[in-house]
């Protein structure tokens, strides 16, 4: 009798202890991965002399000097033009992506064209070819048509870069909408634009928002094209970040402050889209 009650009790306690240990391990792993990010933020809040010590001065006083200097920037124009360029490129390319991808996804999910899966996989296959291989012709075309150092060139390229991802994601969100709702609206005489606005958008809204955020992140992060195709006037934030370093020499706090500022929009967008992030990154293959 006693044996029977004690044994499960002990097993449960062992299981709980193991659960606690594994939870602790997860916490340690989380903290280890987060440490460099925390270090970056902390360093950005130190003065330059406190940032460059060995061993590190953890308890040094906090200051916003690095941020102030970054924005006042001795590097000529300061970061604002680059940040505005990045916002322009990311926002407009995301907008164009949505305008092109929404009807396409409609034709691939709600009222399907024949061989819709082939079309879908064609979109995906374009994403798998390395962009660097098309860089030279694009550079030559841009050079000959006077589009070099023009932010709208990046808008066009980023639109094409993100279009396959958006088509895939939206296709999977729209396919979740029950056909009967749409058919009912069609019987009521609603036309495509009003079906999109009144029926599709409310149901697929959150998914579309996540798609937009992911496209925004990818455009904001892009550097290879931006570096080759822009110069002084159209340079984006990542390009500014690298040139800022070379022109400033090594100022650790300022480097960290600049990295924090330029990563903030992506961090915000990423955490907002957290639940749909996997789906977007795996091109809709994982839900």
Partner 1 sequence: MSAPTTVRPDRTGPPAPAPSSRAKWRRARAWATRAPLLPALVFLIAVTQLPFVATLVISLFDWNALYPDERRFTGLSNYTSVATDPQLRDSVGTTAVLTASTVLVSLLLGLGLALLLDRAFIGRGLVRTMLIAPFLLVPVAAALLWKHALYNPEYGLFNGGLSWTADLVGIDRPPQPDWISSMPLIAVEAALVWQWTPFMMLILLAGLQSRPLEMVEAARLDGAGTWQIFRYLTLPHLRRYLELGVLLGSIYIVQNFDAVFTITSGGLGTANLPYTIYQTFYQAHEYGQASAAGVLVVIGSIVLATFALRVVSSLFRQEVSRA
Per CB under 8 A, which of residues 122..181 are in contact with partner 1? 122-126, 128-141, 156-157, 159-160, 163-164, 167, 172, 175-176, 179
The C-alpha atoms of residue 279 and residue 287 are separated, in whole angstroms, by 5
14 binds partner 1 (CB under 8 A): no
Q: Which of 75, 148, 185, 245 binds partner 1 (CB under 8 A)?
A: 245
Measure Cα distances from 28 to 14, 42, 221, 274 in Å.
21, 19, 29, 21
Q: Which CB, 172 or 211, lies closer to partner 1?
A: 172
Q: Which CB atom, from 1 or from 192, has the smaller least distance to partner 1? A: 192
**Least Cβ distance, residue 29 to partner 1 (angstroms):** 6
* Peptide bond just before 269 cis, omega within 30 deg: no
Binding residues for partner 1 restricted to 45-104, rule: CB under 8 A: 51-56, 100-101, 103-104
Residue nearer to partner 1 on the CB measure, 1 or 243:
243
Instruction: Report d(CA 170, CA 279) in Å as an integer.
Output: 10
Residue ranges of the alpha helices (H) in 110-148?
A: 116-128, 135-144
- Shortest distance, CB of residue 77 to partner 1, whole angstroms? 19
- Our CB check for partner 1 shows the closer of 5 and 180 to be 180
Helix residue spans in the chain (DSSP H): 2-44, 48-51, 65-72, 80-109, 116-128, 135-144, 151-174, 179-187, 192-195, 201-221, 224-229, 237-248, 252-272, 274-281
Two structure tokens written together for 222: 């892009």
Residue 249 as a binder of partner 1 (CB under 8 A): the answer is no
Long-range Cβ pairs for the range 179-185 (8 Å, 24+): 179/110, 182/110
Task: Name residue, tokens 């934030």.
Answer: 237
**Smallest distance from partner 1 to CB 119, Å:** 7
Nearer to partner 1, 37 or 64 (CB): 37
Cα dihedral 205, 207, 212, 217 sign: positive
Of 60-68, 70-78, 180-188, 240-248, which part binds partner 1 (CB under 8 A)?
A: 240-248
User: Which of 77/274 has CB closer to partner 1?
Assistant: 274
Packing angle of the helix pair 252-272, 2-44 (nearest 10 deg):
130
Stretch 209-228: interaction string toward partner 1, x if CB under 8 A = --------x--xx-xx---x
Query: Which one of the spans 1-9, 68-76, 114-122, 201-209 is the region binding partner 1 (CB under 8 A)?
Result: 114-122
Part of the chain binding partner 1 (CB under 8 A), chosen from 60-68, 76-84, 87-95, 244-252 = 244-252
């Amino acid at each position: 009798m006693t044996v029977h009650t004690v044994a499960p009790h002990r097993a449960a306690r062992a299981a709980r202890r193991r659960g606690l240990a594994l939870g602790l391990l997860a916490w340690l792993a989380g903290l280890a991965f987060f440490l460099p990010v925390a270090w970056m933020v902390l360093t950005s809040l130190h003065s330059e002399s406190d940032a460059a010590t060995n061993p590190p001065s953890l308890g040094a006083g906090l200051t916003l000097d690095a941020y102030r200097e970054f924005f006042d920037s001795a590097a000529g124009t300061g970061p604002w033009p680059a940040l505005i360029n990045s916002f322009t490129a990311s926002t407009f390319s995301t907008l164009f992506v949505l305008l092109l991808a929404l009807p396409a996804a409609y034709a691939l999910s709600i009222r399907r064209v024949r061989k819709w899966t082939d079309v879908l996989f064609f979109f995906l296959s374009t994403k798998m070819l390395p962009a660097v291989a098309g860089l030279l012709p694009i550079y030559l075309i841009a050079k000959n048509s006077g589009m070099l150092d023009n932010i709208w060139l990046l808008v066009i390229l980023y639109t094409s870069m993100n279009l396959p991802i958006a088509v895939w994601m939206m296709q999977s969100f729209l396919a979740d909408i029950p056909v009967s709702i749409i058919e009912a609206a069609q019987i009521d005489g609603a036309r495509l634009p009003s079906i999109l606005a009144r029926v599709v958008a409310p149901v697929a809204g959150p998914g579309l928002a996540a798609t937009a955020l992911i496209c925004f992140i990818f455009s904001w992060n892009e550097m290879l094209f931006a570096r080759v195709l822009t110069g002084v006037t159209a340079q984006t934030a990542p390009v500014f970040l690298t040139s800022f370093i070379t022109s400033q020499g090594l100022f650790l706090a300022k480097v960290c402050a600049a990295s924090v500022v330029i990563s903030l929009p992506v961090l915000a967008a990423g955490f907002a889209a957290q639940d749909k992030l996997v789906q977007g990154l795996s091109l809709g293959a994982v839900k």
